[in-house]
A and B are shown apart, each in its own frame.
Chain A
């Protein structure tokens, strides 16, 4: 049992990265990680040692993430998660790198949560399609369409961001 706990604790940094990509806001992301860890430690027997701990933990995280999304939608009568927060920028905005990071994270936040989760798992966390589909509990075909639409939309939003910025500069 202790080996299991140690294996789970070792995943916390990856859980935080996944949560931050999903939610952007640091506190909201750490809330998600904390809730997921509590749930995981409460159901250690459901995880078979030898199975990849990250996949198991990310599955738990995804359920909680989607629960949160639904709760938010109900409270607001539809719409997106209100996760924008001024101090939630993951990297200092001072340099161009920072600007790019901020833009790309903002654009990512604008994607529908289901699309965002699919893209983050595959493009950031490096899950295979099969692993990601399994973690998200969707068929592989659905996953692939979420990824291709997610990438498309992300690029379109980034194009929009840059266009707005260059217009501002010209004015």
Chain B
């Protein structure tokens, strides 16, 4: 066996960092076998590297702190939401500057209004929460659907209005559960639903006394879409990913009617 070249400590680093040419690797491994103390050094470096990666890897999955999440929000220019031509082709939605009571059962051909920035903040909050929690495998919700009454009672109390967890089963979505979240200095309630394929939607509710009642508004951000509205001092958003505007509108309309019925009830 003729040795191609002599190896040294330097090559241990090249090999660990993927910088060693492929045709030298076999010779390098053979050299390690003949030099047990070098092999031990390589193994230690390798386990140090694994330890380093393990020590910081979880950071990739941490929710962003507010001051950094702000950069994500700042990228939201309403002009680049869904193509309005595309939406106009498929959408029939009533938009009113006044009471949402008109909305019930009276959809009329119109368009969804574009988000204005102040009011869109609520949608951004809802989208952030949706993106963060709907991606969770193990801890999607704080309280599961098996304790639905407790969940709805608790969130109603904390948010300060009579909530229901709307029934979306006609659209194939079952309640997974809910969470209490901070929203600026207030509390927000979030209900999360899932369809048999595992795709998730959420309803987000928080108190907002500063914004006049509106019709549905659309916001797309971070790959998710929210239809949101203001009604009677509260803000509501239904958020989904990969959903047509029509389907999202149907879900939001259904949520709106069920919430209204509960509050009147």
The residues of A with any CB-CB pair to B shorter than 8 Å are 2, 5-6, 8-9, 12-14, 16-17, 20-21, 30, 33-34, 37, 41, 90-91, 97, 100-102, 104-105, 108, 120, 122-124, 128-129, 144, 147-148, 151, 154-155, 158
Contacts and interface: CB of A to CB of B under 8 A. Distances in A.
Given A151-B48, A154-B48, A2 B58 contact: no
What are the 7 closest A-B residue pairs judged by CB atoms, nearest first?
A101-B55, A5-B75, A17-B59, A13-B60, A104-B51, A9-B72, A123-B49
Contacts of B56: 17, 20-21, 90, 105, 124
Contacts of A41: 71, 74
A6 to B, nearest CB: 6
18 contacts: A2-B80, A9-B72, A9-B222, A13-B60, A13-B64, A16-B59, A21-B52, A30-B67, A100-B54, A101-B54, A104-B51, A104-B55, A108-B52, A123-B49, A123-B53, A124-B53, A129-B19, A151-B45
Contact of A128 (B19, B72, B222): B19
A149 B87 CA distance: 59
Contacts of B186: none
Interface string B1-17: 00000000110010011
Nearest to A147: B13
B62 interface: yes
Contact of B64 (A6, A8, A12, A17): A12
B265 interface: no
Contacts of B19: 128-129
Interface in B54-111: 54-62, 64-65, 67-68, 71-72, 74-75, 77, 80
A14 B72 CA distance: 14
Contact of A91 (B13, B18, B58): B58
Contacts, number: 95
A28 to B, nearest CB: 13
Nearest to A91: B55
A129 B71 contact: no
Interface residues of B, number: 34
B55 A144 contact: no
B44 interface: yes
Given A2-B80, A14-B60, A37 B51 contact: no
Nearest to B222: A9
B117 to A, nearest CB: 15
Contacts of A129: 17, 19
A16 B62 contact: yes
Nearest to A33: B68
Contact of A101 (B18, B51, B71): B51
B109 to A, nearest CB: 30
A171 to B, nearest CB: 26
A135 to B, nearest CB: 14
Given A12-B72, A17-B56, A104-B48, 7 more contacts: A2-B77, A9-B75, A13-B59, A13-B61, A100-B54, A155-B44, A155-B45
A120 B48 CA distance: 12
A144 B51 contact: no
Nearest to A37: B71
A12 B73 CA distance: 13
Nearest to A27: B65
Interface centre among B16, B49, B53, B75 (most CB of A within 10 A): B75
A90 B13 contact: no
B46 to A, nearest CB: 10
B18 A155 contact: no
A119 B179 CA distance: 40
